[in-house]
Amino acid sequence: MIEEQPTFIVDAPTLVTKVLELRHAGWRLVQIGVTKIGETIELNYSFDRALKFQNYRLTAPAADLRIPSISAVYWCAFLYENEIHDLYGIGFDGLALDYKGNFYRTAEKFAFAKSPAPAVVPAKPPPPAPAQPAATT
C-alpha cells in the first residue's frame, strides 16, 4: 500500500501561520528540504502526525531570497534554516538562533546556490588482480 502524502503550496507571507496551525494540531516537523531548479528555489517542509505525512512547498525566485523563519514555532528548525542559509544563500527572517553564515565552514560560500551542479564522473573500474602462479606439488 502506498501512503498518500499530500503536498500543499504555500507562499512566504502565509508560511508561519500555516506551520503554526499544524503545530497546534499536534503535527511534528520532520525535515526541511531545499533544491535549486534553474533560477528558482523550492523548499519542502515535511510534517508527521499519527503515522500520516504531509508537506508544504514554497517556491520562489532564488535571487536575494528571504523568507520567514519557522524556528519560533519549531525550535529545531533553526538547524535546517542555518544549514540552508550557508549552502544556498537563502535568508531567514526571525531565526531563533542565527549563526550568521557560520553554521558550516565551506570552501565556497553558498556552494549549492551555483547552477548547474557539476556532472558526476563515473569511477574507473579497478585493474584486474594479477594472476596467481599455479601450485606445484
> Which domains does the chain possess?
7-113 (3.30.460.80)
Task: Note the maximum CA span of the chain.
Answer: 83
Residue 115: CA count within 13 A, CB half-sphere: 12
Is 30 within 8 Å of 22 (Cβ atoms)?
no
- How far apart are alpha carbons 110 and 125 in whole angstroms? 33
Is 80 within 8 Å of 31 (Cβ atoms)?
yes
pLDDT of residue 100: 80
Three cell numbers at 39? 533560477
Q: ∠96-93-41 over CA atoms, to 5°?
A: 115
Measured CA to CA in angstroms, residue 65 lies from 10, 128, 131 at distances of 15, 51, 60
pLDDT of residue 123: 61
pLDDT tens for the chain, 137 residues: list them: 677 899 999 999 999 999 999 999 999 999 999 998 888 999 999 999 999 999 999 999 988 789 999 999 999 999 999 999 988 889 999 999 887 877 766 666 666 666 544 445 556 666 776 776 666 65
